[in-house]
Every structure is written in C-alpha cells, then in structure tokens.
Amino acid sequence: MTMATTALDFANKVVLVTGGSRGLGKAMVMGFAERGADLVIASRKLDACEAVARDVRALGRRALPVAAHVGQWEDLDRLVGAAYLEFGRVDVLINNAGMSPLAPSLLGVSEALFDKVVDVNFKGPFRLATLIGSRMAAADGGSIINISSVGAVLPSPYFGVYSGAKAALNAVSIALAMEYAPKVRVNVISPGGFATDVSGDWAQDPAVLNNIMLKRLGRPEEIVSTALYLASDQASFTTGANIRVDGGCLAVKS
C-alpha cells in the first residue's frame, strides 16, 4: 500500500459535516465514509440526515444524524455534545452549511435577511470551529475545513451579503489556524459552481459556463478529493490555506 493510499484512509476517524444531507455536503459525507470514517451528519431536517445516515451505515460505518440550525449557537452546543457523547471525539470538522439567497439590490436587503445570511455563513461556522477546535487542541489535534465560496472574491450586488459573510469566514479561518496551531490545521475550500441535485437549470446556462475557464461545472467528487486531501496527513504542512475549486471562475453570474 502506497503512502498516498494510506494517507487517505480514514478508518477509526470521526468526521462531522454540517449541511451534510444534500449537495456537496452529502457528497463529502459519502466520500469520507467510503474511506472508513464514521460520520456526524448535521442539517436542519432530521429526516434528511437520517436518510444519509442509512447510506453511511450500509457501508459498514457508524453514523449519527443530528438536526441543528448552524446559525443558532444553542443548536451548535447540542450538536457538539451529541457528537462527543456518541464518539468521544471529532477528528475532522467540515463547516459546509450555507445559504445564498438573492436580493433585488443591496438596498433591498432586509435586516432579517442580512442577519440570517451572516448567521448561517459566518457566525455559526465560527462558533462551531471554536467549540470543536478548542477540544481538538486540548486532545490529539485534528483538521477543520471551512467551505467558503469563490463569491467571496467575486461578489455581486445580488448576493453581496453572502459574499461579505464568506469573506469574513475566510479571514477568521486564518485566526482560527493561528489560535489552535500547532495541533489543529484550519483550511478553506472556495467552491465555484457544481452540478449537484440542487444546482437547478443554471447548470447548463451558457452565460454561466462562459465565465468558467474549463467551460463546465464541477463534479461533486472534485470537491470531495480536495476535502480528503486537506483532512489527511498528505496536507500535514498545510494550514491557513484557501483552495479555490471553481474551474477557473472569472465571474459569478447573478
């Protein structure tokens, strides 16, 4: 067995994924489960988490589905408590949950919408990273991967608050990496457009594809491979990094 193969073996590792019941989150859950990890699957809808948990268990791995709203800190306290009660540790945290509603203009953004977008995309991931990162640092270490967006560096007025929240997540990820070093590595993945079950009609929109150097959307496994790398010993000297997985995105279509 080669070093590369063993480095991507997550047997006896515990991975927690927020937004893990669909889309890229589900793809990452299954990618880690296929490589031996046990999973904590969190999203707002328990039935959706339970459905993914059944798929994980079918691979012979343990799975804990937890309903949690990442924008609410009490839910995060409960999520962390449930994960540590079930498994005793978390080795990899993937802050994947997010939302990007459009608005007609920046002036048209309501206070409620502003707070909701910031809560889910920045406040929640920050809090969960501190709750778990501090435990990792006090124990055997671990890896935290924050899922940001290419929209943080290619903003639009139609999702300006989302771009700002993800840019804040990028910044605080460096602070988290500093805070919990040397035992915990904290890195960011910034996806572009991916073809998933939630991508909708824009997946074949020529205006979208023309703004991508590779002229296509990403396949889910193309973010899974990056997450596996950052979580593994292959990335043992990588922290505070931000990897764009966007096919060479030139602009984000509103």
DSSP summary character for residue 122: I
Q: Which amino acid is at 8?
A: L
DSSP summary character for residue 249: B
Helices (H), 188-253: 206-209, 221-231
Largest CA distance in the chain: 57
Identify the helix (H) or strand (E) that includes residue 118: helix 111-118
Q: Enumerate residues 6+ apart whose C-beta is below 8 A from 249.
A: 150, 154, 192, 193, 211, 212, 213
Is 162 annotated in the active site? yes
Q: Please give the order of strands across the beta sheet that includes 14-18.
A: 63-67, 38-43, 14-18, 92-95, 142-147, 184-191, 242-245
Which one is catalytic: 84, 158, 162, 229?
162
Tokens of 187: 């890195």
Q: Angle of helix 111-118 relative to helix 160-180, nearest 10 degrees?
A: 30
- Kindly list the catalytic residues: 162
